């Protein structure tokens, strides 16, 4: 079972959505749509009957409601029926991880819970590498109670060396990088899935738009139509011009496992990969 993100066109690129009970990071600079992403993730959970928690270090409840309304989403009805809990926190150090913030999350859990933290960066700006265990503990607690999206603010100079970024990026289960180039062209905003632990994910850079009513829409159709392939072992080996008898039993088993899955690569790519693999085994 996967947790659908609510981001149109993204789940197909994640192998069906986020894995259950994972912490998933969204990285990007100001204006790329990180808050819209996290609200869209929460809204999908609310539409599917889940309990949702939205934590912010920048905006209060009225500002979050107003941001959602600017896209055309009504969050007030979910707040009124106690299915959406919104908390604003003011933080100065890491102690908030295991005090007020976690207490707020634990007090507002449901049977199935989605959590969005926008943005996680202010919480850990004073972190040192030695404090990684504190974030690891916090992420483990988040995984135990639900599926979580955290947003990370990319610095203007593009430096990724700050512990406030490197630690949550390393410890998160997936990382999506949103970029905006500011050219006003069709590919002005792009999305890249940097990692997705324990799951297949699409490679490459995908354009996306932010549209009123829909939110973030990722253009993934071309990639999926071009690359989705279900291949038969015999036809692949015939295309390569290699007989089964010339391939070891161990390698055949590995190739059969690979081909048993739905592959998001073109037939030509698979053939070229197998040519190299078989060549390595025959050396």
- Cα–Cα dist 147/161, whole Å: 27
Residue 42, H or E segment: helix 34-47
pTM for this one? 0.81
* Chain-centroid distance, C-alpha 213: 21
| pLDDT exceeds cutoff 60 at 94 | no
Tell me, what's the pLDDT at 13?
A: 93
Full DSSP string of 55-71: EESS--HHHHHHHHHHH
Give the residue from 38, 132, 135 showing the smallest Cα distance to 96. 135
Cβ contacts of 190 within 8 Å, gap of 6 or more: 178, 179, 181, 205, 206, 207, 208
Strands 113-118 and 51-56: parallel
Assess if CATH 3.40.50.300 describes domain 2-225.
Answer: yes
Report residue 241's pLDDT band, with 50, 70 and 90 as the boundaries: confident
Q: Which of 58-72, 109-123, 152-166 has the lowest mean pLDDT?
A: 152-166
- Measured at the CA of 210, the angle between CA 205 and CA 211, to 5 degrees, comes to 135
Q: What is the pLDDT of residues 182-210, one digit of tens each?
A: 766 556 899 999 999 999 898 889 999 99
Residue 8 DSSP class: B
Residue ranges with strand state E in the chain: 2-3, 18-19, 23-28, 51-56, 84-88, 113-118, 147-153, 174-180, 189-196, 205-211, 215-218, 228-229, 263-264
Instruction: Give the domain ranges of the chain.
Output: 2-225, 230-282
Cβ contacts of 80 within 8 Å, gap of 6 or more: none
Cβ contacts of 52 within 8 Å, gap of 6 or more: 42, 45, 46, 78, 83, 84, 85, 113, 114, 115, 116
Report residue 256's pLDDT band, with 50, 70 and 90 as the boundaries: confident
């Amino acid at each position: 079972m996967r947790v659908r993100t609510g981001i149109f066109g993204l789940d197909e690129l994640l192998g069906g959505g986020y894995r259950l009970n994972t912490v998933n990071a969204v990285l990007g600079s100001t204006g790329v749509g990180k808050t819209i992403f996290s609200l869209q993730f929460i809204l999908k959970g609310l539409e599917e009957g889940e309990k949702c928690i939205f934590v912010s270090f920048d905006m209060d409840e009225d500002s979050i409601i107003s941001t959602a309304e600017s896209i055309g989403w009504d969050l007030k009805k979910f707040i009124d029926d106690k299915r959406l809990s919104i908390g604003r926190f003011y933080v100065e150090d890491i102690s908030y991880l295991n005090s007020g913030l976690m207490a707020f999350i634990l007090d507002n859990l449901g049977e199935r819970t989605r959590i969005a933290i926008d943005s996680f960066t202010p919480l850990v700006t004073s972190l040192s590498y030695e404090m990684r265990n504190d974030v690891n503990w916090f992420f483990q607690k988040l995984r135990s109670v639900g599926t979580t999206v955290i947003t990370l603010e990319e610095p203007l100079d593009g430096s990724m060396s700050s512990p406030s970024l490197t630690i949550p990026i390393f410890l998160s289960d997936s990382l999506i990088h949103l970029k905006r180039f500011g050219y006003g062209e069709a590919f002005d905003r792009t999305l890249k899935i940097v990692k997705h632990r324990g799951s297949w994910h699409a490679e490459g850079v995908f354009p996306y738009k932010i549209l009123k009513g829909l939110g973030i829409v990722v253009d993934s159709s071309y990639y999926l139509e071009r690359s989705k392939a279900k291949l038969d072992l015999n036809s692949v080996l015939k295309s390569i011009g290699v007989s089964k008898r010339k391939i070891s039993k161990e390698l055949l088993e590995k190739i059969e496992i690979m081909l048993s899955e739905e592959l998001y690569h073109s037939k030509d790519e698979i053939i070229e990969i197998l040519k190299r693999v078989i060549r390595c085994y025959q050396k």
